């Protein structure tokens, strides 16, 4: 706004804008020198407040009173994940790159109940917090994440390589670069242990190899589990351990787990020596 608003209004128009705070009591245009964005109700898109970002100073301006309304409420619709920025201008900058699922909070202390309610109504499951890359932004991210966890929305914080999202976009970054930085890292695959190789012999014994150990079991009944007294041999190279035990007895199973060949804290060879 260029400050000429007052000159173009009737007395009634001036009085109306004073009541809602666009003009001060002295008739000064509150948003003069700012790029102005409407803030709306999530359900109706009715304008309920304004946000102004000064073009020459790092200044964020709102209408008097508590923060009301949302910027880009549709950013939380038809998606499981939303991007939360620290200011409206940050959200607008990311939106201009093509990131449509973005909604701002209103500064480090501006995560309002209205925003929370909108995220719940839209059934958001995940939130990426793109706060400013300073200590105040990091502290705000921690507080917002804790509040989101209370309503079952998982949250993670991402710091862009700039002071804030608006500066990141102004530096000439692309949508692809932004998405790559925001993307959740792939979970590291946990290697699964090798499965033992099992073989049966004509004499009814069962053998299986695991790592460097060879296990041989004799005595299992082929017709059922009515008999579990078995002969067990564990060998590693030329070393072996031979035992007979009744698997129906808890004490026998307990002692087996404590015998050489089953304790995982020692090497296989030392277990059998």
Q: Is residue 3 part of a domain?
A: no
Planar angle of CA 219, 221, 227, nearest 5 degrees = 80
- CATH number for the domain spanning 80: value is 3.40.1360.10
Number of domains in the chain: 2
CA distance to 24, 40, 95, per residue, from 51 (Å): 15, 11, 16
197-241 pLDDT, tens digit each: 677 777 778 887 877 778 888 876 655 556 667 787 788 777 777
70-107 pLDDT, tens digit each: 999 999 999 999 999 999 999 999 999 999 999 999 99
* Residue (of 168, 184, 97, 98) closest to 131 by Cα position: 168
Instruction: Based on the fold, state whether residues 42 and 146 are members of the same structural domain.
Output: yes
Q: How confident is the model at residue 267 (pLDDT cuts 50, 70, 90)?
A: very low
Last residue of a domain, one of 155, 182, 209: 182
Q: Supply the range of the domain harboring residue 242.
A: 197-272
Q: Is residue 27 part of a domain?
A: no
Q: Is residue 190 part of a domain?
A: no
Instruction: Based on the fold, state whether residues 173 and 232 are members of the same structural domain.
Output: no
Mean pLDDT of the chain: 83
Last residue of a domain, one of 182, 205, 235: 182
Instruction: Based on the fold, state whether residues 239 and 163 are members of the same structural domain.
Output: no
Q: Is residue 67 part of a domain?
A: yes
Instruction: Based on the fold, state whether residues 46 and 148 are members of the same structural domain.
Output: yes
Last residue of a domain, one of 121, 155, 182: 182
Q: Is residue 8 part of a domain?
A: no
Q: Is residue 4 part of a domain?
A: no
pTM above 0.75, yes or no: no
What is the percent of the chain with per-residue pLDDT over 90, rounded to a whole number? 49
Instruction: Based on the fold, state whether residues 163 and 263 are members of the same structural domain.
Output: no
139-188 pLDDT, tens digit each: 999 999 999 999 999 999 999 999 999 999 999 999 999 999 999 776 55
Q: Is residue 249 part of a domain?
A: yes
């Amino acid at each position: 706004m260029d400050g000429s608003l007052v000159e173009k209004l009737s007395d009634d128009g001036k009085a109306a804008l004073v009541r809602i705070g666009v003009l001060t009591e002295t008739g000064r245009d509150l948003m003069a020198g700012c790029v102005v964005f409407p803030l709306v109700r999530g359900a109706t898109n009715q304008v309920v407040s304004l946000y102004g970002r000064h073009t020459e100073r790092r200044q964020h301006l709102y209408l008097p009173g508590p923060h009301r309304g949302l910027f880009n409420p549709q950013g939380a619709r038809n998606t499981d994940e939303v991007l939360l920025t620290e200011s409206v201008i940050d959200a607008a900058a990311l939106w201009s790159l093509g990131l449509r699922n973005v909604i701002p909070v209103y500064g480090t202390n501006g995560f309002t109940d209205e925003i929370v309610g909108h995220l719940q109504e839209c059934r958001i499951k995940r939130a990426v917090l793109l706060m400013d890359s300073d200590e105040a932004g990091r502290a705000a991210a921690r507080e917002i994440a804790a509040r989101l966890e209370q309503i079952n929305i998982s949250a993670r914080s991402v710091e862009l390589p700039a002071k804030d999202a608006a500066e990141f976009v102004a530096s000439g970054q692309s949508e692809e670069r932004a998405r790559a930085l925001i993307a959740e890292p792939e979970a590291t695959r946990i290697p699964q242990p090798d499965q033992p190789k099992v073989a049966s012999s004509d004499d009814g014994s069962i053998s299986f190899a695991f790592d460097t150990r060879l296990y041989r079991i004799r005595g299992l009944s082929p017709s059922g589990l009515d008999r579990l007294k078995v002969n067990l041999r564990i060998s590693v190279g030329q070393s072996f351990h031979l035992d007979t035990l009744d698997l129906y007895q808890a004490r026998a199973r307990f002692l087996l787990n404590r015998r050489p060949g089953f304790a995982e804290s020692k090497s296989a060879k030392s277990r059998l020596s």
